[in-house]
Structure 1
Amino acid sequence: MDLKMQGRVAVITGPAKGMGAAITRAFAAEGVDLALFGRDTDAIAPVAEEARAMGRRVEVVRCDVTDAAAVEREVGIVAATFGRIDILVNVAGGTGPIGKTGAETSPEEFDEIVSLNMGGSFHMIRAVAPVMQRQRYGKIVNVGGTFGMRGKAGRLAYSSSKWGLRGLTKSFALELGGDNINVNCVAPGMVDGPRFRTKVVPEMARRLGISEDEAAQRHADDYALKRVSTDEDIASATLFLASDLARQITGVDIPVDGGWAAL
């Protein structure tokens, strides 16, 4: 399907692997030129080359999204280089402590994940918004998580950061809507990939004394559609929200989880 995104310019954070890489490939396939932000530019290089092979213009930008001054500087350079920024996708994030109660989570652990998952998106939007306001056009998509919609024991810091990202999304949607800028949030559930296969599934298998295949199926059985999401599922939802097909959608959280958080 032609989403009529050819020639648009997108800034994507966290593009090196997993859903970030899938989103980058999906945007490149739709004809979008790219500025790829991350701390490890060597890790970004392979996906950048894939996008270039599709005929896209790609700039790889070394930037720590938790550093507000660095974000503002690099966004300014990207805007000058490309002449515009049409799309921002905030993928960069972390998991925080796993299996710790709130009382067991240290202030440092809490601050670190909130600074990355919320603060990083805040800095990026704050820097990109003036460019989009001058254009009177923009699409911003934040990648949240379903633990920010239902909560999760043992993941307090992560869950809190994703709940906060929802509030950030809705507030910016209200503030920027008059400038023809849409701000939305995609909330992945469990996503099939290396972490799921090498950490989540084996841990459940050990805990319950079952095979890894049985553990993977138990996860799938939690969802209405009886399957675990893929990186490409997240990329498709992100593409939709970044396209003009979603011109009248703003301030929403869309769970992409096979039917778990909303059911």
Structure 2
Amino acid sequence: MDLKLRQKVALITGPAKGMGRAITLAFAQEGCDLVLAGRDVAAIDTVATEAAALGVGTLVVACDLTDAAQTEALAQAALARYGRIDILVNVAGGSGPIGKTGWETTAEEFNDIVELNMTGCFNTMHAVLPAMIAQGGGKVVNVGGTFGMRGRAGRVAYSASKWGLRGITKSFALEAGAHNINVNCVAPGMVDGPRFREKVCANMADKLGITLEEAMRRHAEDYALKRVSLDEDVAHACLFLASEVSRQITGVDLPVDGGWAAL
């Protein structure tokens, strides 16, 4: 199926590593010109080079997404380069403390992750939506998480931030729908990679006195499909929600978790 994304302009935050890299390259493979934003420009340059090799335009912009002035400048840089922004994919985010109860989590830890995962996405939408409205439409895909749909012990800061992102997503969807703008949320479950293996599984292994491999197996057993998601699974969901194939879908939470949050 042709998703008709060729020569669309996609602004992607947090594009350098893990699912962010997979999402970036997936949009490049579909022929999107890219604006790639985040703090670690050196890491972004690497994936930008990979994307450019696929024949698409790339613009790398250093941006602290929690700074509203910097996100406004990001949007202006994208418009100056391409003249439009068709797609915004908010991937940038953090995991916060793992394995801490709410009373063990410090106020600073809580505030830091809420600011990154919620304020960062608000800032980019605030900066980009006026251009989308002016051009007659657009697509916004926020990458949330299933712990923002069911909650999770030991992840209070992260869970709170992803619940909040769902509310931001739904409110923007209601407000922007009249302007032909779809705003949706992809909610990954556990996604295989260094963070999952070295932080999440390592935490479980330490607590239960089991091997890392056993911890990974136990996580997989939680899901109906008995497997942990891959970065590419999240990327494909983002492509779907950024395309006209999903033109009548807005304000939804799409779990990409092998069957956990919704079952």
TM-score of the pair, normalised by structure 2: 0.97
2:193 aligns with 193
Aligned mates of 2:46, 2:200 — CA distance in 1: 27
1:47 aligns with 47
2:95 aligns with 95
Q: What whole-Å deviation, never above 9, does each CA across 1:36-57 have from its counterpart, x for those lacking one?
A: 0001100111110010000000
Aligned mates of 1:116, 1:199 — CA distance in 2: 19
Q: What whole-Å deviation, never above 9, does each CA across 1:175-199 have from its counterpart, x for those lacking one?
A: 0000000000000000001122223
Aligned residue for 1:121, secondary structure, equals helix
| Amino acid in structure 2 at the alignment position of 1:103 | W
Q: Structure 1 residues 243 and 68, CA, compared in 2 at 3 Å: closer, same or farther?
A: same
The alpha carbon displacement at 1:207 in A equals 3.1
Aligned mates of 1:248, 1:180 — CA distance in 2: 10
* Unaligned residue ranges in structure 2 (runs of 5+): none
1:169 aligns with 169
Aligned mates of 1:74, 1:159 — CA distance in 2: 28
Confirm or deny: 8 A CA contact 2:98 2:200 kept in the other structure.
Answer: no
Aligned mates of 2:261, 2:68 — CA distance in 1: 32
Aligned residue for 1:28, secondary structure, equals helix
Q: What whole-Å deviation, never above 9, does each CA across 1:10-47 have from its counterpart, x for those lacking one?
A: 00000010000000000000000000000110011111
Counting aligned pairs with the same residue, the percent is 69
2:132 matched to 1:139? no
The alpha carbon displacement at 1:213 in A equals 2.5
| Amino acid in structure 2 at the alignment position of 1:116 | L
Aligned residue for 2:140, secondary structure, equals strand
Aligned mates of 2:243, 2:54 — CA distance in 1: 19
Higher mean C-alpha deviation, range 167-176 or range 100-109: 100-109
Aligned mates of 2:194, 2:112 — CA distance in 1: 24
CA RMSD of aligned residues (A): 1.1
The alpha carbon displacement at 1:203 in A equals 3.2
Aligned mates of 1:224, 1:25 — CA distance in 2: 28
| Amino acid in structure 1 at the alignment position of 2:229 | S
Aligned mates of 1:32, 1:234 — CA distance in 2: 17
Aligned mates of 1:70, 1:201 — CA distance in 2: 35
1:220 aligns with 220
TM-score of the pair, normalised by structure 1: 0.97
The alpha carbon displacement at 1:209 in A equals 3.3
Q: What whole-Å deviation, never above 9, does each CA across 1:120-162 have from its counterpart, x for those lacking one?
A: 0000000000000001110000000011000111111111110
Q: Structure 1 residues 213 and 154, CA, compared in 2 at 3 Å: closer, same or farther?
A: closer
Aligned mates of 2:81, 2:212 — CA distance in 1: 48
Aligned mates of 1:251, 1:235 — CA distance in 2: 18
1:106 aligns with 106
Number of residue pairs aligned between Structure 1 and Structure 2: 263
Aligned mates of 1:196, 1:154 — CA distance in 2: 15
2:43 matched to 1:80? no
| Amino acid in structure 1 at the alignment position of 2:3 | L
Aligned residue for 2:89, secondary structure, equals strand
| Amino acid in structure 2 at the alignment position of 1:101 | T
| Amino acid in structure 2 at the alignment position of 1:236 | H
Aligned mates of 1:75, 1:193 — CA distance in 2: 30
2:160 aligns with 160
Aligned residue for 1:255, secondary structure, equals strand
Q: Structure 1 residues 210 and 112, CA, compared in 2 at 3 Å: closer, same or farther?
A: closer
